[in-house]
Chain A
Amino acid sequence: MSAINLEPNIDRPDDLYAEIVGMTAGLSDAQAFGLQARLILLLANQIGDVSVIAQLIRLAAQSEEQGHDPGKVEHS
């Protein structure tokens, strides 16, 4: 099983965020859902390893649960 990289791995984080947030600009919720779904599938195929994707899904779900816990928020 591949280790998940949780350290910064994107050299232009603000550009990445702008790309992702920009892709749904001006779309309806339904269009945005569709676009995000297609992106998930393309990213998943690029990664290519179901066990890695399953770990990422669990990490993503965990962040949702912890989002309400102020103790987990890092201020910088």
Chain B
Amino acid sequence: MSAKPDIPVWRPMGVTPAPSTRREQMPTLIVGAGPVGLTIALDLAQRGHHVTIVNRLDFVSAGSKAICFAKRTLDIWDRLGVGADIVAKGVIWETGKVFWGDRPDPIYQFDLLPVKNQKMPAFVNIQQYHVETILIDALSAYKNVDIRWGHSVRDIAVGEAGAKVHVAVGDTEYFVDADWVIACDGARSTVRTTMGLDFEGRVFEDNFLIADIKMKGERPSERWFWFDPPFNPGQSALLHKQPDDVWRLDFQLGWGIDREAAVKPENVEPYVRAMLGDDVVFEPEWYSIYTFQCRRMSRFVHGPVIFAGDAAHLVSPFGARGCNGGVADADNLCWKLDLILSGKAPPALLESYNTEAIAAADENIRHSSRSTDFMSPKSTPAIALRDAVLQLASRHPFARPMVNSGRLSTAVSYSASPLSTADEDDDWLGVPPGTPALDGPLGDGWLLGQVGTEFSLLTNGIDFAGLKNLDLSASPILCERFDLSPGAACLVRPDQVVAARWRHPDQSKIEAAQRRACGITP
């Protein structure tokens, strides 16, 4: 199983022995131990559920995968108790600079954390394998979590209540009857292909070279992006700092190239030297070529089988919307599944995962497709327009916001969520229903660290029975961020998304909004 010469090993886990019975019954089976599957496992485990994960490989793989993790993802991991470890290991950054041609100064730069005074930074860069090992280590503390390394899904039969999953480990085969199967098995999802489900969208005809290299040196922790640089004429390039003196260099190569030749060290190294200087001292970490697609399944929930992360939707890497989008799925799903598994909400609540996760995927795909169209315009008029934006941006402020080197992942708002209760007044500022709560200082800590994992009510000087109340009246910053005047209240879902808010709340309005947010129709 571990003999996969094309997949580098970061941490060997060893093949987990087959279970003692050939037919098992379990509430929840997660397929795939990537960042999304592991996050879902941790969230469900902390809510007291038994979870089993099967993972095809028996190791954590190295190589070039996700590196940029956005503030919303860090907030989610912080709720699960691993945020501090990930930030401590990662490289914090919040500034992006865009260069064009041989101009030494950026034509545009952006700050990714316009609202300061929050616990988590805008972004950290950290290799996906570090994230996975931190999550695996956190899961090892839970007796209700069973991770099976080297176990592959062979087939899946979907019934009315649950699914029967055929699993193989080495020469041994066994069957799992799971009430819920959560497919987080990546872009080439076995669960999706086995079930014969659609995966529609655009394929972009372009190749990109990733050179992850190790080098010492002082450079700022910023995202640097080039349009048409002298070291890669007519194409784009990107530079990111990672932990352990690793740097990610990304070069657009175009479509008609010899992919096998392009990753050979003697062909990669001239690019590295051209970008960083002839005298740069570096070692290769991993070289690879990628192409990308923007596509999604038409539904993410298929009876008892739920899709999340790359298995459900794919984007280009510019904007860091792939893994961050997948962790947002995990966040959206787990509290709903928790309420359903505990009998506190009807299974129909899951339909809101389908609605909200698709809304998020569509926003990510829209941004990602537009970035790609800007970066690699394909027709003469499109090239002229792109260059016109860059020319004007170097001279006039109005064109700078049009420069699109990737719109970096921010929290997605579910503006038309069936779980939200509409505002009674139309003059609200602050965080609208369907949008994740903004962090801010509260007492000795931070708001998001105190809202907990259940429904909570943010108030300004009042108190209601039946759920956790957090009085923000001592924090003018938070009252302003949520636009909470004295006597107002804001209902927050277990995933920290605002569900409803009132200038003049009462017990019955709060209870009705909470029922609606649990998928209980009035």
Contacts and interface: CB of A to CB of B under 8 A. Distances in A.
Contacts of A36: 384
A38 B391 contact: yes
Interface in A20-52: 30, 33-34, 36-38, 40-42, 45
A42 B387 contact: no
Nearest to B387: A34
28 contacts: A30-B380, A30-B384, A33-B380, A33-B384, A34-B384, A34-B387, A34-B388, A34-B391, A36-B384, A37-B381, A37-B384, A37-B385, A37-B387, A37-B388, A38-B388, A38-B391, A38-B392, A40-B385, A40-B388, A41-B385, A41-B388, A41-B389, A41-B392, A41-B399, A41-B402, A42-B392, A45-B398, A45-B399
A36 B384 CA distance: 9
Interface in B383-411: 384-385, 387-389, 391-392, 398-399, 402
B382 to A, nearest CB: 9
A10 to B, nearest CB: 24
Given A37-B387, A41-B385, A42-B392, 17 more contacts: A30-B380, A33-B380, A33-B384, A34-B384, A34-B388, A36-B384, A37-B381, A37-B384, A37-B388, A38-B388, A38-B391, A38-B392, A40-B385, A40-B388, A41-B399, A41-B402, A45-B398
Nearest to B393: A41
What are the nearest 4 A-B pairs in CB distance? A37-B388, A33-B384, A38-B388, A37-B384
B388 to A, nearest CB: 4
B370 to A, nearest CB: 14
Q: How large is the interface on A (under 10, 10 to 19, 20 to 34, 35 or more residues)?
A: 10 to 19
Contacts of B381: 33, 37
B386 to A, nearest CB: 8
Contacts of B389: 41
Nearest to B389: A41
Interface of B: 380-381, 384-385, 387-389, 391-392, 398-399, 402
Contacts of B399: 41, 45
A37 B381 CA distance: 8
Interface string A44-63: 01000000000000000000
Contacts of A45: 398-399
A27 to B, nearest CB: 12
A47 B399 CA distance: 14
Contacts of B398: 45
A52 B387 CA distance: 24
A38 B391 CA distance: 8
A38 B402 CA distance: 13
Contacts of B384: 30, 33-34, 36-37
Nearest to B380: A33
Nearest to A42: B392
A42 B388 CA distance: 10
B332 to A, nearest CB: 30
Contacts of B391: 34, 38
A52 B402 CA distance: 18
Nearest to B383: A33
A37 B389 CA distance: 8
A41 B399 CA distance: 8
Nearest to B391: A38
B398 to A, nearest CB: 5
Nearest to A33: B384
A65 B398 CA distance: 32
A33 B380 CA distance: 8
A36 B383 CA distance: 12
Contacts of A38: 388, 391-392
A59 B388 CA distance: 23
Contacts of A33: 380-381, 384
A45 B401 CA distance: 12
Contacts of B387: 34, 37
Nearest to B388: A37
Contacts of A41: 385, 388-389, 392, 399, 402
Contacts of A37: 381, 384-385, 387-388
Nearest to A45: B398
A40 B399 CA distance: 12
A42 B387 CA distance: 14
- Of B381, B384, B389, B399, most buried by chain A (CB within 10 Å of CB) is B384
A45 B400 CA distance: 12
B404 to A, nearest CB: 14
A42 B398 CA distance: 9
A36 B388 CA distance: 9
B387 to A, nearest CB: 6
Contacts of B380: 30, 33
A37 B385 CA distance: 5
